[in-house]
Amino acid sequence: MSEDRLIVFDTTLRDGEQSPGASMNLAEKLEIAHALADLGVDVIEAGFPIASPGDFEAVQAIAQEVEGPVICGLARCNPDDIDRAWEAVRDSARPRIHVFLATSAIHREFKLKMDKGEIVRRAVEGVQRARGYCDNIEFSPEDAARTELDFLAEVVERAIEAGATTVNIPDTVGYAMPSQYAAAIRHLKQTVRGIGNVVISVHCHDDLGLAVANSLAALTEGARQVECTINGLGERAGNCALEEIVMAVRTRGDYFGLKTGINTRRLYPTSRLVSRVTGIGVQRNKAIVGQNAFAHEAGIHQDGMLKERTTYEIMNPEEVGLPRTELVLGKHSGRHALRQRVRDLGYHLDDAQLQRVFEGFKALADRKKNIYDADIEALAEAQIHEGPALWTLESFHSSAGTGTMPTAGVCLRHADGHKAQDAACGDGPVDAVFKTIERITGVTVHVRDYQVRSVTVGEDAQGEASIEAEHNGRIFRGRAVSTDILEASAMAFVEAINRTALRRQPRLNPQAETVAAT
């Protein structure tokens, strides 16, 4: 690969999925993996195969199905992890194993209880074992940014000798400063034997809001792979945001002199897809993909924009795939137009799913005049959510009013076909519906957040309900759309309950969950 080519390594499905409440089912992960391939990322880190049977299955399905990018699986430096990672990625045309081991003093002493010599030995053995399976191996010294520079250089050099083809320098805890992080990359480039023959990668977290800045600083010192996630999703404050790093490199090509393989027009649709699938919204003023990123309100700016766009705009909104208009379809729109729109929005549905979206679209068009992108997204999303639906809402009614006791009756259908119904009182109509659903499913949750907003405009707009619920110390989200906000609330609540059932799958290696944090 040429010197000016930046490799984009997306870890939305691994590091991104580690953010609280972002867990996805198999169908959702596949959908996102296909969207990432369309976006043009070079590497997809599809998951951490040893963590659970579900993680393994998802990485394997992506390796078998998604063509184009390198498909990568994460592993700690031990034989079981590495063997399992290889099993998961081996069906890909371009597999990669990513092994990691912490190197900082604090991790050596408190987490691993190993001395420097032991760390080097384990790293070398891990890389060699992985290299026995395939020739595309990435090695990460976890918490590299807090590791003594001399020791970091030693570990990296030994990993390269052992066969690593990419060496990643993670700022696992988001502690680095741009100039200091750049200096660490420079030091490695100057002192490590063989580093000229491998790709230097960066992986930054955003705890101090510096993930993108740190990554960019490293690029000026010769790093040529950047690890990032859509919308900056990830542990705690998240990872380096893919859309920000890509547009910084593109908009400031004069400064960086680098190119990526990203089709930037897919940035906005992919951001929307990830936000809808995970239920984690994008803040309004978020760079590149936020709702206000290209909005001009101040009169003086608007005046300047009308005379010459570039007075206040450094990027063209169409370049990142922002739709020019949201209004797309009406009652008389045909199947073909709908299919095209679903694709443009980033969904990969099969014919049966498209047919169901089309039927939903026709039913919706009877209830409201104009159908917007957000309406289509809600219909398409319902198709890929289908996997884990243990319970579905069959029917409900709820009554409330001044001087009456709010009550609800709900009927749910279980995946095994049986129907169950019950009734309960509550503080209000929504509370009564939620309490009834808890009685039927036997799952009690603590609702931490509940919001209803309109997805589009106009009095006939659909309402979107989103719920964040806590169950056994974990966060689960649910989201649903309907022209009836009570129905949307009930469906969102059922979805959150279904997700708690999904999480009860046994994990092969419970420890892995807390350890994976490169």
- Which chain residues interact with Zn ion by CB under 5 A? 15
Which residue's CB atom is positioned nearest to Zn ion?
Answer: 15
Are 330 and 369 in contact, with CB atoms under 8 Å apart?
A: yes
Are 454 and 443 in contact, with CB atoms under 8 Å apart?
A: no
Query: Shortest Cβ distance from residue 15 to Zn ion (Å)?
Result: 4
Query: Shortest Cβ distance from residue 205 to Zn ion (Å)?
Result: 6
Query: Shortest Cβ distance from residue 32 to Zn ion (Å)?
Result: 17
**How many whole angstroms separate alpha carbon 236 and alpha carbon 426?**
35
Query: Shortest Cβ distance from residue 11 to Zn ion (Å)?
Result: 7
Are 410 and 436 in contact, with CB atoms under 8 Å apart?
A: yes
Query: Shortest Cβ distance from residue 436 to Zn ion (Å)?
Result: 41
CB nearer to Zn ion: give 137 or 145: 145
| Residue among 365, 332, 382 at smallest CA distance from 460 | 365
- Residue 331, CA distances (Å) to 335, 380, 386 in order: 11, 17, 26
Are 382 and 406 in contact, with CB atoms under 8 Å apart?
A: no
Query: Shortest Cβ distance from residue 129 to Zn ion (Å)?
Result: 23
Other beta carbons within 10 Å of 351: 8
Are 183 and 219 in contact, with CB atoms under 8 Å apart?
A: no
Query: Shortest Cβ distance from residue 110 to Zn ion (Å)?
Result: 19
DSSP 291: T
CB nearer to Zn ion: give 206 or 495: 206
Query: Shortest Cβ distance from residue 46 to Zn ion (Å)?
Result: 15
- In 292-441, which ranges are E strands? 327-330, 370-372, 391-399, 407-414, 419-425
**How many whole angstroms separate alpha carbon 95 and alpha carbon 446?**
42
CB nearer to Zn ion: give 145 or 481: 145
Give the type of residue at 351.
D
Strand-pair category, 95-102 with 199-204: unpaired
DSSP 428: S
CB nearer to Zn ion: give 16 or 429: 16
CB nearer to Zn ion: give 214 or 436: 214
Query: Shortest Cβ distance from residue 229 to Zn ion (Å)?
Result: 9
CB nearer to Zn ion: give 169 or 440: 169
CB nearer to Zn ion: give 15 or 42: 15
Are 273 and 32 in contact, with CB atoms under 8 Å apart?
A: yes
CB nearer to Zn ion: give 15 or 138: 15
> What do you get for the CA distance between the two ends of the chain, in Å?
25
- Residue 498, CA distances (Å) to 30, 322, 495 in order: 19, 33, 5
CB nearer to Zn ion: give 98 or 129: 98
CB nearer to Zn ion: give 157 or 227: 227
Query: Shortest Cβ distance from residue 236 to Zn ion (Å)?
Result: 9
CB nearer to Zn ion: give 17 or 495: 17
Interior/surface letters 127-160, b for 16+ CB within 10 angstroms, e for the rest: bbbbbebbebbbbbbbbbbbbeeebbbbbbbbbb
For 446-476, give the secondary structure using H, E and C.
Answer: EEEEEEEEECCCCCCCCEEEEEEEEECCEEE
CB nearer to Zn ion: give 52 or 239: 239
Query: Shortest Cβ distance from residue 240 to Zn ion (Å)?
Result: 9
Query: Shortest Cβ distance from residue 7 to Zn ion (Å)?
Result: 17
- In 351-493, which ranges are E strands? 370-372, 391-399, 407-414, 419-425, 446-454, 463-471, 474-482
